Amino acid sequence: MSELFIGIDLGGTNIKIGCFDSQLTLLCKTSTPTEADTGPEPVIDKIAQTTEKLLADNNLSYESIEAVAMGSPGQFNFAEGIIISNPNMPLFKNLPLRKMLSDRFEKPAVLENDANAACWGEYTLGAGKGIKDMVFFTLGTGIGGGIITDGKLVHGFADSAAELGHVIIYPDGRLCSCGQKGCVEAYASANSTAKRAAEAIEAGASSSLKKVIEQNSQITSKDVYDHLAAGDDLAKQITDSTAKALAIICINVLHTTEPQRIVFAGGMIAAGDVLLERIKDYFNEYIWTLKKETVEIAFAKLGEDAGIIGAAALAKQLKD
């Protein structure tokens, strides 16, 4: 029986679980509601039971599991395997989450930040394959980040490195959910992009997006890039300023760790080449001349599976 590795992506709403072989081929996957308010023990138990069922349904043996790894949002002490806090899951506080996972599965376990796990997935099998220095952004509700330098994830002195969404790009700019002003997250996350469009319409801008607000009483980032494709001027302006914010953060990370490739993931990349090309345009406009075209800017390749793939790859490292 071949060796199996389990990759888990613990989200606030859903838990995704994937089973991989030793070549990191995805054999099967599933997802289940997190129900975080039931508490950490029941959630861990549910993860193990869901995994058991997934394997049984696919004629795979639970005994063949070699290691498990979980990506989760929150603050951590990675050396101790402890989750310190998770704003969306208040019961997951000061817990030995890695030990709980390892004890329940009776296998070695790895705990990682969710953005770092997705970053590691893209690095291992996706847009970062074959390179050693990569910086990763996930453009979702907020902006998550991951930094890989010389083939290693950067965790920082207190395990909070790569909070790239909260790099300030416009001092005294828009207020961010973190309390700072001018963070890149306040401009270029999927939520901020949609919010800026809604604010512009409220302030009187003319746009085909106005109908969306009237119908749905809100705008999503998908609405913005759908209307961009249809030629709406406001959608173009909003996408331009999102691209500009992302180009500035690309320049800042290039000057910091000099990645070979910068990879964007998350809901926003569905905007497609229009967004990617605008990021590259602004990058080339603002970058120090000597550094021009020294970094590749690309979109992620693995979609929503990046988290479970990255986690499984981290689990497999325990056996390498």
Residue 263: which of 72, 119, 115 has the closest Cα? 119
Q: Which one of the spans 6-14, 158-166, 204-212, 309-317 is the region binding Zn ion (CB under 5 A)?
A: 158-166
Which residue lies nearer to Zn ion by CB, 166 or 261? Answer: 166
Please give the size of the binding site for Zn ion, defined by CB under 5 A.
5
Phi, psi at residue 53, to the nearest 5°?
-65, -45
Q: Among 16-24, 178-186, 258-266, 270-278, which window interacts with Zn ion (CB under 5 A)?
A: 178-186
Distance of CA 45 to the CA centre of its chain: 25
CB of residue 201 to Zn ion, shortest distance in Å: 24
Q: How far is CA 54 from CA 33, 117, 283, 295, in A?
A: 15, 21, 45, 41
- In the complex with Zn ion, the residue whose CB is nearer, 64 or 180, is 180
176 binds Zn ion (CB under 5 A): yes
Candidates 132-140, 176-184, 276-284, 289-297: pick the segment binding Zn ion (CB under 5 A).
Answer: 176-184
The residue among 16 and 166 lying less far from Zn ion, judged by its C-beta, is: 166
Q: Which of 16, 166, 278, 316 binds Zn ion (CB under 5 A)?
A: 166
- What tokens appear for 37 in the block? 């308010």
180 binds Zn ion (CB under 5 A): yes
CA atoms within 13 Å, Cβ hemisphere of 88? 12
Is 16 among the residues that bind Zn ion (CB under 5 A)? no
Asked whether position 183 contacts Zn ion by CB under 5 A, the answer is yes
Cβ neighbours for 239, distance < 8 A, ≥ 6 positions apart: 193, 224, 225, 228, 271, 274, 275, 278
Contact 30, 17 (CB under 8 A): yes
Interaction site with Zn ion (CB under 5 A): 166, 176, 178, 180, 183
